[in-house]
């Protein structure tokens, strides 16, 4: 083979190799593009069932003090970087940053038709205290809507318009959704009707620091939800509604990729009750609960931090009747795993009052299954009690005094001693004068003498649970006695 032929062959081989690489790159690119979801059919089928909801108000609605308290709470947790919640602004009379009307007394949001006879789902905060509600369909027809029922705790409302043969969405299920799934929202951001935005689920079971929202375990997404999207649907790739867009975290008033939707399983329960009765009944068990950190897990002999730690049992409540006790760690409710305390109110709220359900707890390190008849949340105030509280600890370096009978009666305590001073282990456990210690390491204390008798028997070098009443709320601390 001569040199000229060898060079030509090498060039031909190089060209073939480059051509093959180019073809493979194109095929790979096309394959990746084909793997991305195509939302066109989903939008064409469902957009006709999405509506714009606009409202007017007779006067400024809401309580400015409530909003101020929420903003103070966010500043407490986040400081100068406190995010803004896309919630109703009573000063403006508008929906969570929704598009204001020309007179400043109106707002706009989104909704979707669930029944061809004219039933529509939206957010409670979109229509709360509205004087008039106007629904605009995809074909630009307008109807004045009436409120069938509205529920503040879940932020859901059902409207009715006088129309027939309307397109309706299909409701899916949210229980088995997974982080990373593609989702799509259709709504009216800033009053722009039928705008579409896609993204993925970024977290499941998000709890938010808003009043009543502990009965909703939110779907968090990175979909570009903006003011005006509130009340609109969140779809899965099958074209089923799996959530209702409700809130956003924002520093600017626009989307920063943190949006929250109400799971459709919650919505189906609430909507059915609103359509039937105009009101919603929720389950209630009558306990104060706290999260379980590593120290508390060690103190209560858990294999890992999980569950909801019971730090208060309301007298006369369903939990007391079922035998649930302070210091129990609830790990499962009605067949649902309780990961943190935020899971429990959500699962309890889904159960119809009067239903008997299994409750799995860990007591003194041993699993135990109890049966509880779920109460009605609306009846909780009849007992003159509040729910959730927080956490605490005690022993060496602790001086206490007897609890006077009047205070014991006012707080409805069966036991307790008052902390006079702290040092050493008690101080490290964050106990403080004025605390009322109800129990230490599971043993109730009724006098300083009982503490003196118990102290030598306490194990050392491991966290010990201490049940404390502080500011009229029961909470657990942990104290560790050094060897």
Q: How many CB atoms lie within 10 A of CB 27?
A: 10
| Pairing mode, strands 473-480 and 390-392 | parallel
- Strands 366-373 and 182-187, sheet pairing: unpaired
Catalytic residue among 155, 265, 342, 435: 155
As to burial, measured by CB atoms within 10 angstroms (0-12 exposed, 13-18 middle, 19+ buried), residue 275 is middle
Residue 254 burial by Cβ neighbours in a 10 Å radius (0-12, 13-18, 19+):
middle
Q: Look up 155 and say whether it is catalytic.
A: yes
* Choice among 230, 246, 394, 439 that is catalytic: 230
Q: Look at the block and give the residue holding tokens 């088995």.
A: 176
435 half-sphere exposure, CB direction, 13 A CA radius: 28
Q: In the chain, what's the furthest Cα-to-Cα distance?
A: 113
Torsion of CA 262, 220, 351, 281, to 10 degrees: -30
Told to judge if 306 belongs to the known catalytic residues of this protein, a careful annotator would answer no
Nearest Cα to 188, choosing from 132, 227, 220? 227
Length of the chain, in residues? 483
Question: For residue 212, what are its two tokens?
Answer: 């009543």
**Could you give the C-alpha distances from 93 to 98, 212, 332, 347, in angstroms and in order?**
10, 21, 42, 33
Mark whether 298 is an active-site residue: no
Neighbours of 368 (CB within 10 A): 15
Beta-carbon contacts of 117 under 8 Å, excluding residues fewer than 6 positions away, are 163, 164, 166
Which of 46, 301, 274, 242 lies closest to 152, judged by CA? 274
H or E stretch including 349? helix 343-349
Contact 194, 138 (CB under 8 A): yes
Q: Which is the catalytic residue, given 89, 125, 229, 259? A: 125
Indicate which residues carry an active-site annotation: 125, 155, 230
């Amino acid at each position: 083979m001569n040199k000229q032929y060898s060079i030509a062959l090498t060039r031909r081989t190089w060209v073939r190799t480059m051509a093959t690489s180019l073809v493979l790159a194109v095929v790979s690119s096309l394959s990746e593009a084909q793997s991305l979801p195509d939302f066109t059919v989903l939008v064409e089928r469902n957009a006709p069932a999405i509506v714009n909801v606009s409202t007017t108000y007779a006067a400024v609605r809401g309580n400015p003090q409530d909003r101020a308290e929420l903003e103070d709470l966010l500043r407490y947790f986040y400081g100068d970087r406190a995010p803004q919640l896309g919630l109703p602004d009573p000063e403006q009379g508008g929906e969570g940053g929704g598009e204001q009307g020309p007179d400043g007394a109106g707002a706009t949001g989104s909704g979707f038709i669930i029944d061809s006879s004219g039933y529509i789902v939206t957010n409670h905060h979109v229509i709360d205290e509205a004087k008039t509600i106007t629904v605009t369909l995809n074909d630009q027809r307008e109807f004045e809507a009436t409120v069938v029922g509205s529920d503040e705790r879940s932020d859901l409302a059902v409207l009715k318009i006088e129309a027939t043969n309307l397109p309706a969405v299909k409701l899916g299920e949210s229980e088995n959704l997974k982080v990373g799934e593609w989702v799509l929202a259709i709504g009216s951001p800033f009053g722009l009707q039928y705008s579409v935005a896609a993204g993925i689920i970024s977290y499941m079971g998000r709890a938010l620091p808003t009043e009543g929202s502990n009965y909703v375990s939110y779907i968090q997404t990175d979909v570009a939800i903006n003011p005006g999207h509130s009340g609109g649907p969140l779809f899965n790739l099958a074209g089923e509604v799996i959530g209702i867009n409700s809130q956003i975290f924002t520093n600017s008033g626009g989307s920063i990729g943190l949006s929250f939707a109400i799971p459709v399983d919650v919505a189906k329960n609430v909507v059915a009750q609103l359509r039937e009765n105009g009101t919603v009944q929720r389950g209630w068990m009558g306990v104060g609960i706290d999260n379980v950190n590593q120290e508390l897990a060690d103190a209560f002999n858990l294999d890992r931090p999980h569950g909801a730690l019971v730090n208060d049992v309301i007298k006369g409540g369903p939990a007391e009747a079922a035998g649930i006790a302070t210091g129990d760690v609830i790990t499962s409710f009605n067949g649902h795993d309780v990961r943190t305390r935020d899971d429990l109110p959500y699962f309890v709220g889904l159960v119809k009052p009067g239903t008997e359900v299994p409750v799995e707890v860990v007591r003194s390190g041993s699993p135990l299954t109890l049966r509880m008849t779920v109460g009605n949340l609306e009846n909780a105030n009849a007992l003159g009690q509040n729910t959730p509280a927080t956490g605490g600890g005690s022993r060496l370096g602790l001086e206490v005094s007897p609890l006077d009978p009047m205070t014991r009666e006012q707080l409805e305590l069966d036991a307790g001693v008052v902390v006079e001073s702290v040092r050493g282990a008690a101080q490290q456990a964050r106990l403080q004068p004025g605390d009322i210690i109800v129990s230490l390491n599971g043993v109730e204390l009724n006098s300083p003498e009982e503490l003196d008798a118990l102290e030598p028997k306490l194990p050392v070098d491991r966290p010990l649970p201490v049940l404390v009443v502080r500011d009229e709320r029961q909470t657990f601390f942990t104290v560790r006695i050094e060897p």
